């Protein structure tokens, strides 16, 4: 029995979270929702409220802004289908968790720590042994399609986010992209350049 990883990407307000939730609800077993957002202002409070309204009481809800690797084992014990929404906010939280950067080495160290945390979560999912197959769905934003940001922190974030997305997509059994409310199966369309 192989646990499954599903990757759902798209732009802001594309409908990717709704697609991921519908996909999760189509699967059997207890649903778990790992919310990575933190309510620092009224706008974020409202966004979180909208997500909570959509989930209602169907889900076991877990608010984990940073250390998902410490909690994922217990969540898989309780739930058969887990939705992580979203990789983008999680990466942001990890990037800013220890304050400002003082040097390029500090940036490199922070990136290594983020990638290590993501890999640790993927490793737990793949190695988890239980009575039934587990499915973990990751939602993310596809942020690298625009111009190069003028702001240094935005460039750092864009680069790290791109690496996080590539890491999870490479591990995923299924990958989907939502554009303007329409979703395509990008894993099925993947082109191999290995001959």
Number of domains in the chain: 1
Q: What is the pLDDT of residue 52?
A: 67
Is the pLDDT higher at 42 or at 33? 33
94 located within any domain: yes
Q: What is the pTM of this model?
A: 0.91
Residue (of 2, 46, 16) closest to 141 by Cα position: 16
191 located within any domain: no
Catalytic site includes residue 51: yes
**Residue 195 clears pLDDT 60, i.e. is over it:** no
192 located within any domain: no
Residue (of 34, 4, 17) closest to 178 by Cα position: 17
190 located within any domain: no
Among the listed residues 4, 27, 47, 51, the single catalytic one is: 51
The tens digit of pLDDT for each residue in 4-40 reads: 999 999 998 899 999 999 999 999 999 999 999 776 6
CA atoms 112, 118, 120, 123: torsion sign:
negative
Residue (of 86, 73, 172) closest to 121 by Cα position: 73
Residues 87, 140: contact at Cβ < 8 Å?
yes
CATH of the domain at 121: 3.40.50.300
59 located within any domain: yes
130 located within any domain: yes
194 located within any domain: no
Q: What is the pLDDT of residue 55?
A: 63
Residue (of 20, 29, 14, 18) closest to 168 by Cα position: 20
**Residue 60 clears pLDDT 90, i.e. is over it:** yes
Q: Average pLDDT of 96-124?
A: 93
H or E stretch covering 185: strand 182-185
**Residue 48 clears pLDDT 80, i.e. is over it:** no
How many helices (H) does the chain have, and how many strands (E)? 6, 7
Q: What is the pLDDT of residue 54?
A: 64
168 located within any domain: yes
Residues 59, 53: contact at Cβ < 8 Å?
no
Exposed/middle/buried for 90, CB within 10 Å: 0-12, 13-18, 19+? buried
The tens digit of pLDDT for each residue in 114-169 reads: 999 999 999 999 999 988 899 999 999 999 888 888 899 999 999 999 999 999 99
Residue range(s) defining the domain that contains residue 151? 4-185
């Amino acid at each position: 029995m192989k646990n499954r990883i599903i990757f759902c990407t798209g732009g802001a307000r594309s409908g990717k979270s709704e697609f991921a939730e519908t996909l999760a609800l189509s699967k059997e077993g207890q649903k778990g929702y790992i919310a990575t957002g933190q309510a620092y202002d009224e706008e974020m409070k409202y966004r979180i409220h909208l997500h909570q309204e959509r989930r209602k009481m169907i889900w076991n809800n877990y608010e984990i802004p940073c250390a998902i690797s410490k909690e994922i084992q217990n969540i898989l014990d309780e739930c058969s289908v887990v939705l992580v929404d979203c990789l983008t906010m999680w990466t942001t939280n990890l990037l800013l968790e220890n304050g400002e950067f003082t040097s390029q080495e500090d940036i490199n160290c922070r990136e290594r720590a983020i990638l290590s945390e993501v890999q640790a979560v993927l490793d737990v999912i793949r190695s988890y042994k239980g009575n039934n197959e587990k499915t973990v769905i990751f939602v993310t934003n596809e942020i690298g399609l625009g111009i190069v940001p003028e702001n240094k922190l935005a460039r750092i974030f864009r680069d790290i986010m791109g690496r996080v997305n590539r890491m999870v997509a490479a591990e995923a059994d299924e990958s989907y992209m939502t554009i303007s409310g329409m979703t395509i199966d990008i894993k099925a369309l993947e082109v191999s350049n290995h001959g």
